Amino acid sequence: MKIVVTRPVAEDALALLRPRGEVRVGPAEPPIPSADEVARMIADADVVYTLPANPLTGDAIRGATKLRMIATMGTGYDNIDVGAARARGIPVTFAPGILDETTADGAFALLLAAARRLGEAERFLRAGKYRGWTPFMFTGQDVNHAALGIVGMGRIGRAVARRAKGFAMTILYHDARRNEDAERELDATFVAGLDDLLARSDFVSLHVPLLPETRHLMNAERLRKMKRTAVLINTSRGPVVDEQALADALREGVIAGAGLDVYEREPAVEPALLALENVVLLPHIASASERTRTRMAVRAAENIVAFLDHKPLLDPVP
Ligand code: 8YV
């Protein structure tokens, strides 16, 4: 039994797998293995344990002739060609639910940082430029009592809304489906049209999965629907935002700011964004707490153990 883990993960997870076969762990250091490298790594695998950063293409899946199961430690599984796996009857599991609260903490931290220009202010101080207090130094947007527009009221969107409530924010949301339970809990208002939500929100936070219909959901036209004072936060998936259009919007003052944790061509970041001060840029760390990353890693391993024991999978991809 060959279990290929594409990158080193928490030791607690590897400890569950080691008694079950030969566990081969991919390289620790960046750069992240390319799609072709992953394909070579998994060519003789029975089970693949992967992460959102590692693309598992249809070719890689078809090329791994012995492959029987795929587990990812992500809640997003857009890196896996699930159709290609299904075509071969290979089950795929993911790790939903575990990161919701931690990711919401990360999203809210990003929102606060972008609203209050924390990255910019810290760079200023570290550069030795703080020579005295002035009344309008780094004044930003108020988060308290502002309107938050949540795009995607799933588990993470809802956890972000809970935090927003503590800041006395007005909570608006847009989703393909109404979430009446969340409306009751959070006094959240469903806004049927995305453009309408964008026009009414001071902050827009994206919590949708990457699907053909969400790719470039925030394009130039949609960015223009936002308020000029508004801030866009993305902790979902990079391609949900047209990065070039966002850079243009930030540079031209179409919107006031942004906070990004994810990128269209991760780990590459649109150079035009790097040149701007009014965007906070993080390296995909919204879910990065020790506890959450360990629990996600263990959950993926538990899915593999369930598969090997012929038990029902804990988290099959729907
Ligand atoms: C992490 C994520 O960045 O779960 C996801 O889909 O994007 C994040 O939680 C990490 O890749 C966890 O494996």
**How does pLDDT run across 43-73, given as a tens digit for each residue?**
999 999 999 989 999 999 999 999 999 999 9
pLDDT band at 217, cuts 50/70/90?
A: very high
Residue 18 bears catalytic tag: no
Instruction: Dihedral sign for Cα 72, 312, 157, 217, please.
Output: positive
* 221 domain residue, yes or no: yes
* 313 domain residue, yes or no: no
Nearest atom (ligand 1) to Cα of 284:
3
Whether residues 59 and 92 share a domain: the answer is: yes
Ligand 1: centre distance to CA 157 (Å): 15
> Residue 32 has what pLDDT?
82
* 257 domain residue, yes or no: yes
Ligand 1 pocket test, candidate residues 284, 285, 294, most atoms within 8 A of CB = 284
Whether residues 264 and 117 share a domain: the answer is: yes
Whether residues 106 and 253 share a domain: the answer is: yes
Q: Using CA positions, which residue lies closest to atom 5 of ligand 1? A: 74
> b vs e for 297-312, b when ≥16 Cβ sit within 10 Å of the residue's Cβ?
bbbbbbbbebbbeeee
Record the pTM. 0.96
> Could you tell me the CATH number of the domain that includes residue 79?
3.40.50.720
Please enumerate in sequence order all residues whose Cβ is within 8 A of that of 285, keeping only pairs 6 or more positions apart, or say none. Answer: 106, 261
* 316 domain residue, yes or no: no
> Residue 101 has what pLDDT?
98
* 160 domain residue, yes or no: yes
Domain that holds residue 241: 100-281
Q: What is the pLDDT of residues 219-231, one digit of tens each?
A: 999 999 999 999 9
Whether residues 264 and 274 share a domain: the answer is: yes
Neighbours of 128 (CB within 10 A): 7
Straight-line distance from the first to the last Cα atom of the chain, in angstroms, rounded to the nearest whole number: 26
d(CA 255, CA 228): 4
Whether residues 185 and 83 share a domain: the answer is: no
Ligand 1: centre distance to CA 228 (Å): 31
d(CA 235, CA 286): 7
Angle at 34 between CA 22 and CA 30, to 5 degrees: 80
Ligand 1: centre distance to CA 130 (Å): 37
Ligand 1: centre distance to CA 71 (Å): 13
* 315 domain residue, yes or no: no
- What's the whole-number mean pLDDT along residues 296-305? 98
Whether residues 89 and 176 share a domain: the answer is: no
Instruction: Dihedral sign for Cα 4, 8, 14, 18, please.
Output: positive
Whether residues 43 and 128 share a domain: the answer is: no
Place of tokens 């390289």: 27
**Average pLDDT value for the chain:** 97
Whether residues 294 and 257 share a domain: the answer is: no
pLDDT band at 238, cuts 50/70/90?
A: very high
Structural domain total, the chain: 2
Nearest atom (ligand 1) to Cα of 77:
6
Whether residues 198 and 126 share a domain: the answer is: yes
Whether residues 45 and 74 share a domain: the answer is: yes
Whether residues 245 and 203 share a domain: the answer is: yes
- Catalytic pick among 155, 200, 237, 299: 237
Nearest atom (ligand 1) to Cα of 74:
4
Where residue 316 falls (left for φ over 0; alpha for ψ -120 to 50; beta otherwise) is: beta
pLDDT band at 94, cuts 50/70/90?
A: very high
Residue 34 token pair: 């390319």
Residue 29 bears catalytic tag: no
* 318 domain residue, yes or no: no
* 118 domain residue, yes or no: yes
Neighbours of 166 (CB within 10 A): 9
- What's the whole-number mean pLDDT along residues 155-181? 97
d(CA 87, CA 80): 13
Ligand 1: centre distance to CA 264 (Å): 15
Nearest atom (ligand 1) to Cα of 103:
9
Which amino acids bring their CB within 6 angstroms of ligand 1?
Answer: 51-52, 73-76, 99, 284, 287, 296
Ligand 1 pocket test, candidate residues 73, 93, 235, most atoms within 8 A of CB = 73
Residue 291 bears catalytic tag: no
d(CA 47, CA 55): 15
Whether residues 122 and 250 share a domain: the answer is: yes
> Residue 34 has what pLDDT?
87
